[in-house]
Amino acid sequence: DEIEQAHKRGQPVLVGTSAIETSEYLSRLLTRRGIPHQVLNAKNHEREAVIIAQAGRPGAVTIATNMAGRGVDILLGGNAENLAREDLRKQGFDLNDIREADWIEAVDMLRKGKDPRQRFNEPWVDVLKKRWEQTKKDAKQVRQQGGLYVIGTERHEARRIDNQLRGRAGRQGDPGQSRFYLSLEDDLMRRFGGQNLSRIMDRLGVDEDIPLEAGMVSKAIEQAQTRVEGYNFDMRKHVLEYDDVVNKQREIIYDQRRKVLAEPTLKPTILNMVDEYLEKLVHAYTAAKYPEDWDLKSLHQAVLRIMPLPAKETPEAWTNLTREEIIDRLQAIARQNYEEKEARLGAEDMRRIERLLMIQSIDRRWVRHLTDLDILREGIGLQAVAQQDPLVAYKREAFEMFADLLERIKEDVVTQVFRVELVREQQRAPVRAVHPSVSGNGGGKPAPQRRQAPKLRRNDPCWCGSGKKYKDCHMKSDAAGMTSPPADAVRRAREQAHKGGAAAPAGVSASSSSGRRKSKKRKKKRR
């Protein structure tokens, strides 16, 4: 009813909603009453700026959500420039033909009360001047009706959003008014204080349809909004604290990655990693108090998975050595293997292998670490059940996971640096385009094409003269490239196959071959 009354008296109305469903519901209600309106709910984003700019025209009704039309001023009477552009498009005028500088100068002259037709003799100037005068007249009419009327369908969780909606009216000295409609069944009131107000209304016997305008209601709404804002602030604060843990780890990882890319050689770093890893490995398998209880066979297998060992380095050879002697021995072998590999591949290729291994290991492990942190963060809130601060528990678990990440990176580098090899890609020969119409000497005549020798079929006599069929003799060797039949021999074998005869094998007379053919014919007749 409020919207219909304002529309009839020519006052522009802006209805603010908090959800798209609410804006569509209001649109259906206004359509039933025959009230023309515009809906802005981020579905018609291409024309949002144009629609919201014209929301100040007399009798205009615009329904908008919080995010619709932000950053656009609502001018009372409408925006003359946008209206002029729409008229020019309907007339089929190409706006690209108008120089932007001329358009700006014409608008500036209209603002100063001058006639731009004295400066520009163009048809678009008449349209612009006409719309400018019309909007000025409409703005005067809207001011007489009280300016823009802002209606809120409900109060938002944050007072800031309500104030932004109110601020749409009364901009730049223009008149305006705003009113918010609230129900005790709204989400904000149901969550904070709505039940208490409902009990008070029931005691007083107030009808549900009677509007309430009292300071007690406004105070209850402000208290509810304050609680929601405090809750949201705490949520953002916790999010920042959780993200700060990841950011510190990210700074360390990125710093290490930059050093890997900037360092000319990573040889000392990798050798230190190898020494530390071998030392931990020896301590893990020789943790027993007495040397007889040391698991030297498993230690030998673990070292073999990292690098090759000389034949004399066996578990039996380490029996009479101390823990420190085994460590020194393995570290010396590792350095010797590293030097031999560098001498075999070359210093440049070895530096490339070092850098690639470090970068790949850091990137792969860091991606997995971020995924694990997200999983940890989803369930860390359950620590509150055990009377522990979830943030403190998250920091502790994340620190342990980061320490494990650094160890995993070292392990990847150490276990691959002695095994990886560079594979050089073979360069393909450049493909040369051959045009049959162009000869090699640059002439225009086509190049002569060689005539290919006839190919033997499976049941043709073999080209070697053995008398066997081609499939039972040289067919497989020819296909594998092991033998190559002479062209003359192939041609003779094809001619012989066409005549119906077969070449007699070496050392066998023609008469004996003809006798065999006669005997075959007799067998066929008997059958």
Most confident residue range from 72-81, 147-156, 400-409, 490-499? 400-409
Rg of the Cα trace of the chain?
46
Identify any residues that bridge with 39 across adjacent strands, giving them in sequence order: 63
Stretch 166-171: mean pLDDT:
75
pLDDT higher than 60, residue 226: yes
Give residue 440's pLDDT band: very low, low, confident or very high (50, 70, 90): very low
Question: In angstroms, how far is the first alpha carbon of the chain from the final one?
Answer: 110
Give the span between the Cα atoms of 240 and 238, in whole angstroms: 5
Judged against a pLDDT cut of 60, whether residue 505 lies above it is answered with no
The sheet carrying 13-16 orders its strands as: 38-40, 61-64, 13-16, 148-152, 176-180
Q: Measured between alpha carbons, how far is 48 from 39 in angstroms, rounded to an integer?
A: 9
- Residue 409 CA to residue 55 CA, distance in Å, equals 61
Query: CA dihedral in degrees (410, 412, 418, 422; nearest 10)?
Result: -120
296-351 pLDDT per residue, tens: 899 999 999 888 888 888 888 888 888 899 999 999 999 999 999 999 888 888 99
Report the pLDDT value the prediction gives residue 364, as an integer from 0 to 100.
Answer: 93
Region 69-81: mean pLDDT is 72
pTM of the model: 0.47
Rounded to whole angstroms, the Cα distance separating 70 from 16 reads 12
Helix ranges (H only) for 296-380 are 296-304, 323-345, 347-379
Per the CB < 8 A criterion, the answer to whether 106 and 115 are in contact is: no
CB 194 within 8 A of CB 221: no
Cα 324 to Cα 213, 279, 288, 526, distances in angstroms: 87, 9, 14, 95
Phi, psi of 54 (to 5 degrees): -95, 10
Token pair for residue 126? Answer: 């008449």
Least confidently predicted of 107-121, 169-183, 431-445 = 431-445
Domains of the chain plus CATH, in order, are 1-95+132-226 (3.40.50.300), 263-418 (1.10.3060.10)
Structural element, H or E, at residue 178: strand 176-180
In this predicted structure, the answer to whether residue 503 has a pLDDT above a threshold of 50 is: no
Q: How far apart are the C-alpha atoms of 218 and 443, rounded to whole Å?
A: 98
Contact 387, 393 (CB under 8 A): no
Highest mean pLDDT among 39-53, 151-165, 169-183, 332-346: 332-346
Angstrom CA distances, 219 to 184, 189, 212, 476, 510, stand at 14, 12, 13, 98, 125
Q: Mean per-residue pLDDT for 480-494?
A: 71
Tokens of 175: 């008149």
Mean pLDDT throughout 184-211?
65
Given a cut of 70, whether residue 425 has pLDDT beyond it is no
Instruction: Quickly state the pLDDT bin for 507 (edges 50, 70, 90).
Output: very low
Nearest CA among 12, 72, 75, 16 for reference residue 41: 16
Q: What is the pLDDT of residue 205?
A: 65
Please name every residue paired with 150 in a beta bridge, in sequence order, or none if there are none.
Answer: 14, 178
What's the pLDDT at 298?
92
Quickly tell me which residue has 């809207």 as its tokens: 142
Q: What is the mean pLDDT of residues 268-289?
A: 90
Alpha carbon distance 254, 527 (integer Å):
90
Q: Residue 466: what pLDDT? A: 72
Q: Is the pLDDT of residue 158 over 80?
A: no
- Output 132 or 78, whichever has higher pLDDT: 132
459: CB partners within 8 A, 6+ apart:
469, 470, 471, 497
Count of beta carbons in the 10 Å neighbourhood of residue 258: 10
pLDDT of residue 214: 61
The pLDDT, as a whole number, for residue 197 is: 64
| 461 has a pLDDT exceeding 70 | yes
Average pLDDT, the chain: 78
The three-state secondary structure class of 184 is coil
Is the confidence at residue 33, as pLDDT, over 50? yes
Report the length, in residues, of the chain. 527
Count CB atoms within 10 A of the CB of residue 77: 22
> What's the gap between Cα 225 and its chain centre?
37
H/E element, 5? helix 2-8
Which pLDDT belongs to residue 255?
Answer: 93
| Percent of the chain at pLDDT exceeding 70 | 77
